Amino acid sequence: MNKIIVMLMLMSFMSCKSNSQQGNTESPNSEEITSGSELEVEKRATETNFKNSKGEVIAKIVKSPEEWAAELGAQEYYVIREKGTERSFTSSLLKNKENGVYTCGACDLPLFLSDTKFKSGTGWPSFYQPIDKEVILEDTDYDLGYARTEVLCRRCEGHLGHVFKDGPKPTGLRYCINGVSLNFEKSK
């Protein structure tokens, strides 16, 4: 029984594993969720503002690596700016059941509502949908030899985690997010 639990934990870890050396990929049998074409990346690089789904203009935040390093702790910088991954089951947000909003750990942009959070068993906070699809960027890379869709904050382009097509209804998606990439604002 312990071997099975260890195997399941290892499989969960591998499904969310991402860092700057190993890259970001999705399970080889799943379809691509989005394509990260060079044109889209080029457009994002020149974008200074964007609109959320309500049409509100949100200014992008662009800082140098040195500025981000001065603002973020070492672990936050590694995950958010270098696309690393925190160890599974280490985030204090994993078992958080309070009502509120999860915001970007680098720029505080509201990303996920607590009522979309669910227990995925992967060791990272998981959500079935963002507050607004327009505040999330998705990018695909193949660093491990197969595709996985990376999720980023659109305002600061900080790495959040990955999205997979194995989540609960109503979306069927699992946004597997590093807790260190998030802040939590409790509802008043």
Cite the active site residues.
Answer: 176
Q: Are strands 100-104 and 136-141 parallel, antiparallel or unpaired?
A: unpaired
Q: Is-contact 118 94, C-beta < 8 A? A: no
Using DSSP, how many helices (H) and how many strands (E) does the chain show?
A: 4, 11
Q: Which residues pair with 156 in a beta bridge?
A: none
With left for phi above 0 and alpha for psi between -120 and 50, is residue 121 left, alpha or beta? left
Give the residue from 63, 58, 185 showing the smallest Cα distance to 134. Answer: 58
Residue 149 in contact with residue 129, Cβ under 8 Å?
no
